[in-house]
């Protein structure tokens, strides 16, 4: 069971960033059908169809290289799905870790459906973003199953578990915002840092930027999505990064008093600094593909570190003892009092 979990985790560490690479290299429609490629098992078998599509649109989304990237991602994701099926079977058979294994199976089933819809609905932003979140969820569940049992629980102040939980929630929201930036191709809508196109606070347009039921590049009324909407998407992601940074610094400040947490907090701080650096570098260097993929992997690492931190934290012993005490009997007026 443990070997299966670790094998799945290592494969997920490859699959999730590779999916970002496929998307960012514009290969998401390299095979415009699903699950095969032009009805074939591999791009080699569909070479004639791919060549014909490329001759009609030389600069379009279809080429032999893009088709191989897309199908390689499907092969890897399919292998991961099989490993997760084995994990679910072993968990049920051995009567352990059934809840996370069941959640993992449900997430993978949803993720497979979203992968199909990503292609068949031609990269609709809400589907692409949901597919990204689904892949991250699979990775986080596997990381928790593999790593959490080996981490020593730590009793900290009552505020620290709540703050760590808030940080993890903020990171999930920030991840969704990052997926929305990527799926709408808004990563370069703001030039420069920290200013955006020379402005400290750019013009924002929320009504079109976050309308979910629209096609890629289109506004809700079917016209082209205006540039102000793309700037809004990008700028809100930057504001989210600022909010996450403030929360994370609060967790570091409050948790550093616990000596047992310091190595974990050091890893959290390192992952945060790496992710901030990658985000700024992507803007200043005009989104080079290796850095863009690394930013996706960095987000997964930062969220994983924060979730594992939250799973380690326990309420202080005094609070646990108070929670375990029976409630005092109620007096005649519904107030705590002596029992009569």
Structure tokens at 44: 């080699």
215 is catalytic: no
Candidates 60, 61, 287, 275; CA nearest to 185 is 287
Per annotation, catalytic residue among 70, 94, 215, 258:
70
- Name the strand (E) or helix (H) holding 154: strand 154-155
Using DSSP's 3-state secondary structure scheme, residue 199 falls into strand
Tell me the C-alpha distance between 67 and 50, whole Å.
8
User: Nearest 10 degrees: CA dihedral of 285, 289, 290, 296?
Assistant: 100
- Under 8 Å between Cβ of 314 and 156: yes
Q: Taking Cα atoms as reference points, which of 149, 146, 147, 144 lies closest to residue 4?
A: 146
**Residue 122: burial class (beta carbons within 10 Å; 0-12, 13-18, 19+):** middle
Give the Å distances, CA to CA, from 129 to 48, 65, 125. Answer: 32, 24, 6
User: Which residues does the annotation mark as catalytic?
Assistant: 70
């Amino acid at each position: 069971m443990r070997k299966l979990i670790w094998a799945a985790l290592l494969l997920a560490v490859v699959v999730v960033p590779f999916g970002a690479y496929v998307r960012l290299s514009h290969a998401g429609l390299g095979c415009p059908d699903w699950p095969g490629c032009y009805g074939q098992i591999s791009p080699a078998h569909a070479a004639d169809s791919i060549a014909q599509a490329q001759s009609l649109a030389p600069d379009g989304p279809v080429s032999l290289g893009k088709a191989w990237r897309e199908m390689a991602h499907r092969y890897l994701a399919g292998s991961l799905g099989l490993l997760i099926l084995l994990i679910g079977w072993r968990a049920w058979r051995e009567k352990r870790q059934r809840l996370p294994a069941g959640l993992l199976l449900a997430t993978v089933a949803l993720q497979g459906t979203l992968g199909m819809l990503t292609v068949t609905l031609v990269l609709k932003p809400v589907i692409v973003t949901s597919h990204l979140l689904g892949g991250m969820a699979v990775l986080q569940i596997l990381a928790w199953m593999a790593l959490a049992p080996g981490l020593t629980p730590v009793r900290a102040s009552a505020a620290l578990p709540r703050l760590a939980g808030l940080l993890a929630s903020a990171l999930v929201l920030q991840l969704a915002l990052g997926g929305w930036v990527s799926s709408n191709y808004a990563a370069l809508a703001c030039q420069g840092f920290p200013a955006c196109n020379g402005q400290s606070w750019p013009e924002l347009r929320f009504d079109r930027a976050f309308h979910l039921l629209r096609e890629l590049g289109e506004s809700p009324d079917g016209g082209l999505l205006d540039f102000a909407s793309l700037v809004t998407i990008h700028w809100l992601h930057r504001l989210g990064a600022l909010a996450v940074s403030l929360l994370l610094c609060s967790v570091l400040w409050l948790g550093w008093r616990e000596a047992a947490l310091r190595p974990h907090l050091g890893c959290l701080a390192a992952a945060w600094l790496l992710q901030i650096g990658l985000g700024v570098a992507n803007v200043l260097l005009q989104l080079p593909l290796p850095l863009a993929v690394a930013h996706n992997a960095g987000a997964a690492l930062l969220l994983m570190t924060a979730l594992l931190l939250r799973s380690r934290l326990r309420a202080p012993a005094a609070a646990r003892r108070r929670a375990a005490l029976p409630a005092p009997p109620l007096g005649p007026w519904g107030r705590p009092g002596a029992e009569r």
